[in-house]
Chain A
Amino acid sequence: MTHLESTLDRIDPVRLLSATWWVVFPAFSTVLVLYVYDAMYFRTGEPMQWLAGRTRVSLLVASSYTAAYAWLVVAYVTTVVADHDVLPSWAGSQTALGPAFWKAIVLIIVVATLYAPHQIWRALAR
């Protein structure tokens, strides 16, 4: 356990976040594009219904999807640890996350897009 603890101590969360963003962001964006395309042109009632029965693709999509949330959670926790508050300030977040701050903002916007009502995508498709 001590070995694991010291390994964790050596990890710089900001550098980790900055590096992994280049994998997490494109992967989640791809899922978002597939989701939006599905919502725009297919009215199945169940978005991305084609995932059912496709195990490997499903795992890939699920990993990309959850990785984005996990990335945001790590970013949030890093900020909370640095700012000592569950509701960190804007300035405190910028200081804590450094170069990863704007990456976090971009990812939040992309993740939030997924929650847009389907009617918007259908209207755009028309």
Chain B
Amino acid sequence: MNLPDLNGRPLAWVAIVSLIGFLLYRRDRAEAPVWSLPLALALVAWFVGLIAWYLQHPAYRDHAEGTFPAIAWAFLHGAPLYHTVDAPERYTHIYGPYFYLAHALSLYLFGATVMASKLTGVIGGLGSVVALYLATWKISSARFAILACGYSVLMYLCFRHVSFWARPDSLLLLTVSSALAIGVLASPPWAAVGVGLLTGVALNLKLTGPLYIAPVWVLLAQRSSMSILAIAAPAFAFAVVAPFTSTERISASNFWFWFRESSENGLVIRSLRQNVEWTLFLWLPVLPIFSSPWWRTHRVFLIVLALGMIGVAIPAAKPGAGHYHLLPFAPLVGWIGAAALWRLRSTGVTAFRRWAVLARAILVVGLAIALTEQVGALQEMRKVDASAVTHEIQAFLNRHPSRHVAMGFAGKSMYLGAGPYSYYAPLVVFHTGRYPIDQAGVQEHQLAGIEIPSSTNELLRTCQYEYWLVPKGDEPFATLNMYPVTGHMRLFPLGFRKAFFESYQIVESLRFYDVWQCGKAKS
């Protein structure tokens, strides 16, 4: 079933719904409607229920969900987080070390399972709601705190499962909300230390991380004075440097190399347009502040928030990025929006009526987007019979307990045909502790102009992995790069494919995977 792409034009939809609302809605009430609280609670319940269902489900929805826990597990078994440009293994991504360390901790504590690999993201999503509740409750009331959480969760639901998936976005949500809660609740010196540390963590999740937390620094300075930032700055520096000095397997120079290469990819104008529209859509709840007499109190916070959003909207237009990068601003908007509503109760009813119409339009459009997105996500989770796939991989690994097994890739796309069967590569990595090739990583490297080196071909020719499990039904290692600017070229070059087919041959055909064994190929 093809769903309408409501997600692409939120602002246009708000304009249309608002227009209808202004024509139809005539009531003047200086209070949020009675149904707003149950609705906010229902949204939070929907979010929590969805997370619980996702956590116990054996499927991965996206190729990236398993990638990062797999890298974290390999790191725990001695692999570097950021390999060199000519290394035979190909898995480096440009996310910061705390992201991988969080996954590594979860896998270490709860065991290397699909559920544990989802746990970090889940804690990020749920924790952000709790932190936002506390931060809003402190400045208003329990009711307005729930309204803020309801808004924030509605925005989360507009982005499939980005708010609790295994990418840095979920942890950024937690970091931003926690910084906000600490910035509001703790005494100024401790708040400065906490916010400084969390800003450093955010930087080491994603390099744009501090832009999300910058408005909280404004709150800090407003609560005491600019000199409080002198306490926050060393805490920030400590959090930035710590992971790179803790072990030589987290190389700052390699990380910087891959980041620099990736930053040269230009941008996609269509994405920029969508990012700008989402920036404006996310900004809508703060509008009543400007129609109130006390807007000056929050103007620096709002200016820094807006600059941060612009600062994220531009890099989020890079190939492969998208408007979901703006999601960590949602808790800040929910918080300041609730503060606005809290104080708006005492202002003029005409202004409130117009704001109420706008709020209803945001709600209607948000609900429509959330529903279509969640139905889409559900369909994607059901693409593969995850239980049967997991069972088959585990059975194979039980029969071949050595560390010399890897998962290969098949199909022209990561998302179609046999592509989604490679999402379960982490199950093999959890068994072996080794991760030779990450398809998504290879794709990003190729976009930056870096091809698979000859050392990887040698890894195949020297049988360092005796078995490759390759999804059935499509040609092995025939995936095309999904980025149009690459001309959709083959991810795996001729030399690599030649090395594979000259070294390996199918020795067994399972239900979902073919087993390729080294040294069995005809010369």
Which of A's residues lie within 8 Å of B, judged by CB? 1, 4-5, 8, 35, 44-49, 51-55, 57-59, 61-63, 65-66, 69-70, 73, 77, 80-81, 83-87, 114
Contact = CB atoms under 8 A, between A and B. Distances in A.
A46 B276 contact: no
B269 A4 contact: no
A85 B344 CA distance: 12
Interface residues of B, number: 45
Given A86-B355, A114-B273, A52 B485 contact: yes
B221 interface: yes
Interface in B481-495: 483-485
9 contacts: A1-B218, A1-B226, A47-B269, A62-B267, A66-B272, A66-B313, A84-B293, A85-B351, A87-B22
Nearest to A77: B290
B291 A86 contact: yes
A55 B449 CA distance: 14
Given A5-B300, A86-B355, A58 B266 contact: yes
Q: Is the interface of A mostly helix, strand, loop or mixed?
A: helix
Contacts of A83: 291
B363 interface: no
Contacts of A8: 299-300
B351 A65 contact: no
Given A62-B314, A81-B290, A51 B266 contact: yes
B270 A80 contact: no
A55 B295 contact: no
Give 4 closest A-B pairs by Cβ, nearest first. A52-B485, A80-B290, A52-B266, A58-B266
A59 B314 contact: yes
Contacts of B292: 84
A55 B263 contact: yes
A46 B270 contact: yes
B94 to A, nearest CB: 15
A86 B287 contact: yes
User: Could you say which of A8, A70, A87 has the most chain B C-beta atoms within 10 Å of its C-beta?
Assistant: A87
B45 interface: no
B222 A1 contact: yes
Given A1-B226, A55-B266, A70-B310, A84 B351 contact: yes
Contacts of A57: 266
B317 interface: yes
Contacts of B291: 80-81, 83-86
Contacts of B280: 69, 73
Interface string B300-312: 1000001000100
B376 interface: no
A86 B460 CA distance: 64
Contacts of B314: 59, 62-63, 66
B464 interface: no
B485 to A, nearest CB: 4
B224 to A, nearest CB: 9
A83 B222 CA distance: 27
A10 to B, nearest CB: 13
B358 interface: yes
Q: Is the interface of B mostly helix, strand, loop or mixed?
A: helix
B484 A87 contact: no
B317 to A, nearest CB: 6
B295 A81 contact: yes
B485 A53 contact: yes
A61 B272 CA distance: 10
Contacts of B317: 62
B519 interface: no
Contacts of A58: 266-267
A100 to B, nearest CB: 17
B348 interface: yes
Nearest to A80: B290
A96 to B, nearest CB: 11
A84 B292 CA distance: 6
B454 interface: no
Given A55-B264, A62-B317, 17 more contacts: A5-B296, A8-B300, A45-B484, A46-B270, A47-B269, A52-B266, A53-B266, A55-B265, A55-B266, A61-B269, A62-B272, A65-B273, A66-B314, A84-B293, A84-B348, A87-B22, A114-B273
A69 to B, nearest CB: 5
A78 to B, nearest CB: 9
Contacts of A77: 290
Interface in B43-83: none
A47 B313 CA distance: 18
B253 interface: no
B225 interface: yes
Contacts of A73: 280, 283, 306
B269 to A, nearest CB: 4
A62 B291 CA distance: 30
A50 to B, nearest CB: 9
B405 to A, nearest CB: 37
Contacts of B348: 84
Contacts of B351: 84-86
Contacts of B299: 8
A26 B276 CA distance: 19
Nearest to A47: B269
B319 interface: yes
A58 B319 CA distance: 12
Contacts of B288: 86
Contacts of B306: 70, 73
B480 interface: no
